Amino acid sequence: MARYFGVPLRNGLPIGLGSVIGLSGPVDPDFAADNIELEDGADLLLESGGLILLEGLMPTLWLDFQYSTSLDPRITFTRASTATYFNSSGVLTTAASGAARFTYNPSTLQPLGLLIEEARTNLFLQSQFASGWSFSNASFTSTTVAPDGTNTGRVLNDSSAAAAGYTFQGVSVTSGTAYVFSVFAKSVGLTSITLRNFTQAGAVAFNLTGSGSADTPTGTFSSPEITAVGNGWYRCSVIFTATGTASNNIAFVVNPIASTGEAFAIWGAQLEAGAFPTSYIPTTTTALTRNADVASMTGTNFSSWYNASQGTIVAEYVYSTTGVSNQCAYSLDNGTSSETIIMASTTPAIDRPLSSAGGVGQLTGGLGNYTFTAQQLIKRAVAYKLNDYGTSVNGGAAATDTTYTVPSPDRLTIGAAGYFSGSRLNGTIRRIAYYNTRLTNAQLQALTT
């Protein structure tokens, strides 16, 4: 019986590479090969903490973001602002400027990994409704515990049986620009909330029970989403494209009209230019910006583990949305688009490998493309060597290219391309492993199963 730090390892099911040994529980990323004893002829596959060691091969780089609370010191990380994320207790928390966010599912408390997002600005003022909002047939009558654990959730109560009650704020928008309108909402007797743009006649109702649901939007609204975030709270969002450059009256409506006293709680209003919602940006008297997350490895922090002639990179990541191009899980590049090994999205919802050497594209169009859904975990392996490129995703057979020139990158950018600021993943990365040899196609498939 093999053991890892004294923990017995049991033989698992074969996957075509010999017997497999699995480990249950998080994996210490700092373990050494001599801590593990293998049975003769056995291959090791550590699954719960990621795929670490296979056929006696130790990766020269192992980055575990799912079970970590700090970054590898070789990673340079910046973000010139604070930012929010859900912590291990499911509470919405603020990370200091320049601090990485290791986020969690607020309902299940599952660790999700390193959150990487583009810059966004919340255009609403007083996003927690302390002041600055107007009312019609409604008022805030009490407070409740908000998603951040403070007693700042506002209960909006309908005061008329003859007309819908609502609170609203006028915000200037630009014609032709897409905006995402979102809020955290919780039932306080009334189990629905309507998000509405009175200026552009768009509306959508959300059901605040169970896993949550959204009605079909009307007018200029599209793509409604609702996500349970724990303690009865939901984050509701919808997209609209401005039809004119003007102030729009955007509202949260107590609906349907039945009697007085109907109520829900709201907190964390956000209006951001973009095609999908991002993490909450709190505001008070002015609109505020959350800057982009930037994570990279350069210099000897890169060259110490990278093999210029052959290698394999295995990554696990999640795109939070579909229908957006150029969201990068990672990029090996030289600061330009001429020397690259990249994993990125393209529309409508395709995870695709890209590579260039000397400014010349190296992969046949569509090679290794994979159609994904929002929030789907993607396990992708990419191997490179002269005239021997291969990639496998989520256990699929490897796609190959036998006319491949190896690029010459000098850095790893995590959750973006190092040469393109508009390429943030806008999702989470669980882990990245790098082997300084070209693994076999069968190994690529095994590592992504």
Residue 256's pLDDT band, with cuts at 50, 70 and 90, is: low
pLDDT digit string, tens, across residues 385-438: 999 999 999 999 999 999 999 999 999 999 999 898 889 999 999 999 999 999
Looking at the structure, tell me whether residues 300 and 379 fall in a common domain.
yes
Looking at the structure, tell me whether residues 375 and 344 fall in a common domain.
yes
Looking at the structure, tell me whether residues 255 and 311 fall in a common domain.
no
CA distance 295 to 414: 5
Res 422: pLDDT: 86
Q: Last residue of a domain, which of 290, 311, 327?
A: 290
Whole-prediction pTM value? 0.88
Average pLDDT on 99-103 reads 98
pLDDT digit string, tens, across residues 164-207: 899 999 999 999 999 999 999 999 989 999 999 999 989 999 99
User: Does the structure show a pLDDT above 50 at 251?
Assistant: yes
User: Does the structure show a pLDDT above 70 at 148?
Assistant: yes
Q: What are the residue ranges of helices labelled H in 143-190?
A: none
Tokens found for residue 183: 């809020």
- Say if CB 94 and CB 283 are below 8 A apart: no
E strands of 53-104, at which residues?
61-64, 76-78, 83-86, 92-95, 102-104
Say how far residue 2 (Cα) sits from the centre of its chain. 36
User: Does the structure show a pLDDT above 50 at 279?
Assistant: yes
> Which residues, listed in sequence order, are joined to residue 400 by a DSSP beta bridge?
390
Res 257: pLDDT: 56
Average pLDDT on 311-334 reads 94
CA distance 360 to 111: 39
Looking at the structure, tell me whether residues 363 and 281 fall in a common domain.
no
User: Does the structure show a pLDDT above 80 at 161?
Assistant: no
Looking at the structure, tell me whether residues 163 and 84 fall in a common domain.
no
The average confidence (pLDDT) of the chain is: 87
CATH number at residue 215: 2.60.120.260
CA distance 219 to 201: 6
Looking at the structure, tell me whether residues 401 and 439 fall in a common domain.
yes
Rg of the Cα trace of the chain? 24
CATH number at residue 76: 2.60.120.200
Tell me which residue range forms the domain holding 169.
Answer: 122-290
E strands of 65-163, at which residues?
76-78, 83-86, 92-95, 102-104, 111-116, 120-122, 134-136, 138-144, 153-158
Look-up: residue for tokens 């719960």?
A: 48
Looking at the structure, tell me whether residues 274 and 339 fall in a common domain.
no
pLDDT digit string, tens, across residues 30-72: 433 333 443 333 344 444 344 445 656 789 999 999 998 899 9
Looking at the structure, tell me whether residues 445 and 373 fall in a common domain.
yes
Tell me if the bond preceding 14 is cis, omega within 30° of 0. no
How many CB atoms within 10 Å of residue 142?
Answer: 13
Calculate ∠ Cα 72-381-333, nearest 5°: 60
User: Does the structure show a pLDDT above 80 at 26?
Assistant: no
Looking at the structure, tell me whether residues 130 and 199 fall in a common domain.
yes
Tokens found for residue 216: 């079909």
Please give the single-letter amino acid code of residue 419: Y
Termini Cα distance of the chain: 24
Q: Nearest 5°: phi and psi at 219?
A: 65, -130
Looking at the structure, tell me whether residues 214 and 270 fall in a common domain.
yes
CA distance 231 to 107: 8
Res 32: pLDDT: 37
How many CB atoms within 10 Å of residue 172?
Answer: 10
Looking at the structure, tell me whether residues 127 and 199 fall in a common domain.
yes
Res 421: pLDDT: 84
Please give the single-letter amino acid code of residue 264: F
HSE-CB for 277 with a 13 A CA cutoff: 23
pLDDT digit string, tens, across residues 335-391: 999 999 999 998 889 999 999 999 999 998 889 999 999 999 999 999 999 999 999
Q: Last residue of a domain, which of 290, 314, 339?
A: 290
> Which residues, listed in sequence order, are joined to residue 420 by a DSSP beta bridge?
417
User: Does the structure show a pLDDT above 80 at 4?
Assistant: no
E strands of 188-322, at which residues?
192-197, 202-207, 213-214, 221-230, 233-241, 246-254, 263-273, 288-290, 294-298, 311-319
- Total tally of structural domains belonging to the chain: 3
